[in-house]
Amino acid sequence: NAGVMQNPRHLVRRRGQEARLRCSPVKGHSHVYWYRQLPEEGLKFMVYLQKENIIDESGMPKERFSAEFPKEGPSILRIQQVVRGDSAAYFCASSPVWVGQAFFGQGTRLTVV
């Protein structure tokens, strides 16, 4: 999958804790997307970022969720005060340009207990 790295692969959090999911895009890619996948469902768009900018966050819940893609370092999806309904697989994808082929990481499976 052209090198999109997500970590951790699995994350367990208790209700009320914070979850931080990291995504390192393919080297040279400046566009990052985050998606959420619930069991037995497709991938739902959450947020689209370029370096230091949020381009579209229309799919992200207004509260508790935030995302960033700093000039240096990985993109971070942050979920504060997690609830059981946040349990899902979170996928990150990167692409080099507008209208480019997107490559996905292996996902982070978040379980809230």
Find the part of the chain contacting another protein (CB under 8 A) among 13-21, 37-45, 68-76, 79-87: 37-45
Contacting residue, 13, 26, 65, 107, with another protein by CB under 8 A: 107
* Binding status of residue 25 toward another protein by CB under 8 A: no
Tokens 């942050």 sit on residue: 78
Residue (4 or 79) nearer to another protein, CB: 4
* Binding status of residue 42 toward another protein by CB under 8 A: yes
Contacting residue, 7, 17, 45, 51, with another protein by CB under 8 A: 45
* Binding status of residue 89 toward another protein by CB under 8 A: yes
Quick count: other Cβ atoms within 10 Å of Cβ 8? Answer: 13
- Dihedrals φ, ψ of 89, to 5°? -100, 130
Give the Cα separation of 103 and 45 in Å (integer): 14
For residues 11-38, one letter each, b for 16 or more C-beta atoms within 10 angstroms of the residue's C-beta and e for the rest, the string is bebeeeeebebbbbbbeebbbbbbbbee
Question: Contact residues for another protein (CB under 8 A)?
Answer: 1-2, 31, 33, 35, 41-45, 48, 55-56, 89, 91, 93, 98-104, 106-107, 109
